[in-house]
Chains A and B, each alone.
Chain A
Amino acid sequence: MSTVQNSPHATGNSFVHRLSPLTKLTFAVTVTVCAFAVVDYRWPLLLFCALLLPAAIGAKVVRRFLLMLATFWVPVAAILFVIQGFFFPEAHDVIARFGPLELKSEGVAYALLTALHILVLMGGFFLLLLTTHAATLMSALSERNVSPSLIYIVSAALQIVPTLSRRATRILHAQQARGQVIHGLRGRARALVPLVGPLILGAFTDVGERAAAMETRGFGATRRPTSLITVPDSAVQRSARVAMMLCAVAAVTVNVWGVMR
């Protein structure tokens, strides 16, 4: 339950943390696009080693960065090597045999390339979320004319999980006060049903009150609201973002042209 609540919020104070969230978002997108644009396994590896890893070291989040990659990337890469190494369609060049299974070089090459692409994709966005508080990203987006409804939906969803887990504790306590005893694994499973029901239904029935509160406070007014938090930004970052976007657009254009040809 506490996954969203305990999401790795940015707490450090390095130069990467102080960058505008938009710069980091643009960086994550650009680096992903560039990684996928070139069919050579050394290219995404270079991007990871020359850009993402130094950035993570510079932000002093390298331990958590590698830990998250180990949790989420390593399983995907392992499955990828098994599936494509043995079952890559129309591969002929056998390098090794394990019983009836044949490891083929085309499959391994493909798995290596794809795994490194995914590594850059995940690395770029892990860097963003390790060094950026979601609320700051939302503030930065709201300064850029993104719809306030969208900002509200994302911010509220991030905040509801702690509220829900508080309510879950309260429901459990209320049921125990009425004599519910929880013993062992089966007891826990059985206690889940009377917990989930009131929890989810209660969360939904709160919606009406919250909507009324929002409307009385001017939500949905057509005038453009001002922002309480101003996110620092600079001319250098602005031009860096434009350069990165041009890079990404160029990579996509060359690619689309290459595929269509």
Chain B
Amino acid sequence: MAGFSRSMPSWLDERWRIGWGTGVVLVTYAGLIAVRPASEHGVGGPIALLALVGYTLGALLIVSGAVARLPATTVALLPVAITVNIVMGKIVYFSGLPLQLDSIGTVLVGVVAGPAAGAATGALASVIVGMTITPGALPYAVTAAMIGFTAGMLARAGLFRRLPTAVLAGGLIGVVAGVISAPITAFVFGNASGSVGQSALIATFQAFGNGMLKAATLQGLVADPLDKALTVVLAMAILKGLPPGFLHRFPFVRDRHVLAPRPDLVRAG
């Protein structure tokens, strides 16, 4: 796969593209915070376009950089993880619970195969939902990518070795997700995206005199950490059930001791 980048200059190779993509996302976010959304340029249009373009560009760069470096085992893992995301998201959506739980597979790949693979899983899952179920998922591709990326980084730091720290990691992932997705919810969807419960919470925050972005951020900071902590618990349950030989195919698990050593397995010799 590396052979395709023959004509690419070195500042556009895979590792750099992930960095550039993350940079574009962060600059977009900073720009959206800096520009007063209620200025005379109008609330809706231009700011929303800025958020859409910046986030989409960032997501494209991150995905193209992340996918190019994946080994075959990880490439085979991603479709399954994406399917788990979609199926669980659907079940939870139709059950009417005020949760999302649509990133179990993303977190799982982030923990097992590293930040880049996690980011690719999240973004591509959003693209697939956008292409088959509803285009409303497309603008959130960057949030999903950041969830996978953060999960991978926290796994590298060793937070997924024990359940309490893993739940803490879920909370941190939720904070990232809530903050990154707020501009999309506020500017592109006018705070009307998501379930009725989420919208009611946002309406409450707005009724107390918060601006649109602040209301969306507050809603994200209340709802997302809980949701992602539960997501992490479910992902850990799946990881517990998977055979250790399978997990040790992944260099990220093997070399960085991401998961706790299993007491029931004794190394021979």
Contact = CB atoms under 8 A, between A and B. Distances in A.
Contacts of B136: 72, 76, 118, 122
DSSP majority for the A interface? Answer: helix
A77 B84 CA distance: 29
B45 A203 contact: no
Interface string B129-154: 01111111010000000000000000
Contacts, number: 225
Given A149-B68, A153-B67, A39 B202 contact: no
B1 A220 contact: yes
Closest 4 CB pairs of A and B: A222-B3, A125-B135, A80-B192, A39-B42
DSSP majority for the B interface? Answer: helix
- Which of B50, B83, B199 neighbours the largest number of chain A CB atoms within 10 Å of its CB? B83
Interface stretch (B162-170, B172-180, B207-215, B225-233): B207-215
B190 A148 contact: no
A215 B206 CA distance: 54
Interface residues of A, number: 79
B206 A157 contact: no
Given A200-B84, A205-B242, A256-B50, A79 B199 contact: yes
B258 interface: no
B190 A157 contact: no
A112 B53 CA distance: 22
A17 interface: no
Interface stretch (A57-65, A158-166, A171-179): A158-166
Contact of A37 (B46, B75, B130): B46
Given A161-B83, A207-B73, A83 B53 contact: no
B11 interface: no
Contacts of B192: 76-77, 79-80, 83-84, 114
B124 interface: yes
State which size class the interface on B falls in: 35 or more
- Which of B46, B84, B130 neighbours the largest number of chain A CB atoms within 10 Å of its CB? B46
A211 interface: yes
A48 interface: no
A56 interface: no
A87 interface: yes
Contact of B78 (A113, A117, A121, A153): A153
Contacts of A258: 41, 46
Interface string A1-29: 10110010000000000000000000000
29 contacts: A1-B90, A7-B132, A7-B133, A33-B52, A38-B45, A39-B41, A79-B199, A82-B199, A84-B190, A84-B192, A89-B206, A89-B211, A114-B189, A118-B189, A125-B135, A128-B131, A150-B63, A153-B75, A153-B82, A154-B127, A158-B132, A200-B238, A208-B73, A215-B72, A220-B71, A222-B3, A255-B45, A256-B50, A259-B35
Contacts of A200: 84, 238
A206 B4 contact: no
Contacts of B124: 150, 153-154, 157
